[in-house]
Amino acid sequence: MMLHKRPARPDAFVTKVAAEIAALRAAHERGEEPKITKAIWQDFKAAFSAAQHGRCGYCELPVVAGQHGDVEHFAPKAAVTEFVNWEAERGRETADLAKLTGRSPSKRLPAGYWWLAYDWTNYLLACAVCNSVWKGNLYPVKQPPVRGNPDEAQHETPLLLNPFGRRDPARHLRFGIDGSVEPLDQSDFGRETIRTCGLGRLALVQERNFSTTSAFGAVQQTRKELAAGVLPEDSEGLADLHRLGRLGAPFPGVVRAIIRQELGPLTWQQLDDLFGEAVVPVDLRRRQPA
């Protein structure tokens, strides 16, 4: 998981949702349950896919390369659920499948955050497994939780990390060499995001394994080189880490988190300044005709 820049809200979106927002508010004022009927957000999936480089905002797996993907509502639009005990939460994963059974959260709010159904800042692209199998209508918040009221909800702090949020997931998630993940420094945001979106699910840990093993190997190589006096710009370990953490690599957010946790205060920006394409020297004189 990593931070992305939220796409700008198009005027066409504002025009399209105006009537729906007015209808929801009117229903609420009449004391009726607001009914969300038009999935207008799906028309704007490309904007979120472009901003997230086609990847799920939670697990980083490629979405549009192999499936339709969902425009996910960060705060659930139609209901909110929560876990009442460990047995209800745990569920059972099926080996070699994305299937999860026996996970049964209880309903907390019947109407959910209906006022955020057509809010551009409440969207992100997510894969079907994070969105439908794991997160569903879960939305952990710092106590006390909202009571279905837009005014009270303003003061709520969600405990989920958001790929368009202000908290860097690398400061809340700690990855192991085997692909496992745990909260960094007992972060509540890390813990709740892992348990809600299934970031520790077996198949995902397995999928991350190649990237995490490679990243930790490159960290070890870097430490050896730097101890031997090799300059950072000549370090093969650092060059490998840059390759593993670039946007086209399988799990760039995971690798950038490992760089931070193992080699901090080194930052991704510093590594990108050293090895990014933008600084590859080009000798223009050689391109001039003789």
- The site for Zn ion (CB under 5 A) is made up of 56, 58-59, 127, 130
Cα angle 69, 74, 79 (rounded to 5 degrees) comes to 100
Supply the minimum distance, in Å, between the C-beta of residue 268 and Zn ion: 21
Return the closest-CA partner of residue 164 out of 47, 41, 6, 2.
6
Q: Which is nearer to Zn ion, 41 or 58 (CB)?
A: 58
Q: Which is nearer to Zn ion, 108 or 135 (CB)?
A: 135
Supply the minimum distance, in Å, between the C-beta of residue 58 and Zn ion: 5
Number of Cβ within a 10 Å radius of residue 156 = 16
Supply the minimum distance, in Å, between the C-beta of residue 133 and Zn ion: 9
Supply the minimum distance, in Å, between the C-beta of residue 27 and Zn ion: 32
Cα–Cα distance measured from residue 263 to residue 245, given in angstroms and rounded to the nearest whole number: 14
Is 82 in contact with 141 (CB distance < 8 Å)? no
Q: Which is nearer to Zn ion, 110 or 200 (CB)?
A: 200
Distance of CA 249 to the CA centre of its chain: 16
Supply the minimum distance, in Å, between the C-beta of residue 131 and Zn ion: 7
Token output for 220: 């070890």
Q: Which is nearer to Zn ion, 109 or 127 (CB)?
A: 127
Supply the minimum distance, in Å, between the C-beta of residue 76 and Zn ion: 16
Cα–Cα distance measured from residue 52 to residue 31, given in angstroms and rounded to the nearest whole number: 38
Is 263 in contact with 245 (CB distance < 8 Å)? no
Return the closest-CA partner of residue 59 out of 189, 140, 161.
161
Q: Which is nearer to Zn ion, 56 or 238 (CB)?
A: 56
Q: Which is nearer to Zn ion, 162 or 235 (CB)?
A: 162
